Amino acid sequence: MIVSAAMSLDGFLDDVAEERLVLSNAADFDRVDAVRAGVDAIAVGAGTVRADDPRLLVRSPERRAERVSAGRPASPLRAVFSPSGELDPSARLFDRGAEDVGGRVVVYTSAAGARACPLGPEAAEVVATAEREVDLAAALADLAGRGVARLLVEGGGTVHTAFLSADLVDEVHVAVAPFLLGDRGGARFVYEAAFPQGPGRPLRLAEARAIGAIALLVYRRVNVLYVYAPMIP
Ligand SMILES: NC(=O)c1ccc[n+]([C@@H]2O[C@H](COP(=O)([O-])OP(=O)(O)OC[C@H]3O[C@@H](n4cnc5c(N)ncnc54)[C@H](OP(=O)(O)O)[C@@H]3O)[C@@H](O)[C@H]2O)c1
């Protein structure tokens, strides 16, 4: 499972202004598009749907065509994590219009959220994973049952925090913008939590490169191998 985001040098995903802050550049958006084209599902938290109204599609016609010729949908399945189920049916993610070449949408919610969710079956499939919250392991198991082997989580900070602290993340991709937001900062890349990826078990830096003014950093989890070595008397 991959977590991918663009952030300011001081770790913000956004500022507090109404319109969306652009933290990345065209070449980096294209890189993300290639990552999207390589996965089976793209997921975000409800806060990102409310703030950014994303469509979560593969944009490049060539990449969509490649996916189709490999027998896959033009864009990956799309998933939203929303314990409350309070999602706006007019959000672009749920627009199944003629222009929409996106994969199906699944909303992972709680039992109460499923009752409150205003989305009809034509907009999304609503799956309750637990009584009051979203059980991420159950959501991942449900996705696996739909053939999702590679999942890309594209924000926001609350959902990053949940996945990272539950130790469910194999790769972290961060595009770091060369500025600080300080007191204008909004959502953060992660919030306070007990992270297993601490100094005692750091991630491994797999890639670091410049994309124009952006620094792309790719980290992978280190799988610790325990070898049974009996002591020879
Ligand atoms: N720079 C980037 O790459 C990037 C990418 C994505 C988003 N963003 C920015 O990030 C901000 C949104 O981030 P955010 O942290 O506010 O929201 P978020 O992580 O997108 O979504 C938060 C929502 O997730 C649900 N949630 C809460 N705890 C959860 C858990 N343990 N498991 C599963 N779902 C859970 C809740 O939904 P309910 O309210 O429905 O209960 C909560 O409101 C926006 O400003 C957006 O622009 C930036």
Q: Tokens 């205003």: give the residue.
A: 118
Q: Is the CB of 108 under 6 A from ligand 1?
A: no
Q: Is the beta carbon of 185 within 6 A of some atom in ligand 1?
A: no
Domains of the chain, residue spans: 2-232
N residues, the chain: 233
- 6 CB within 6 A, ligand 1: yes
Domain 2-232 has CATH 3.30.70.270: no
Q: From the CB of 119, is ligand 1 less than 6 Å away?
A: no
Q: What is the pLDDT of residue 98?
A: 46
Tens of pLDDT, residue by residue over 99-109, are 556 678 999 99
d(CA 200, CA 191): 19
Q: What are the Cα distances from residue 45, in Å, to 11, 15, 49?
A: 18, 17, 7
Q: Is the distance from the beta carbon of residue 15 to the nearest atom of ligand 1 less than 6 Å?
A: no
Shortest CA distance to 161 belongs to which of 51, 78, 45? 45
Q: Which residues of the chain have pLDDT under 50?
A: 98
**Ligand 1 atom with minimal separation from the 52 CA:** 47
pTM here is: 0.94
Distance 133 CA to ligand 1 centre (A): 14
Q: How high is the pLDDT of residue 231?
A: 62
Distance (Å) of CA 78 to CA 81, 131, 232: 10, 23, 54
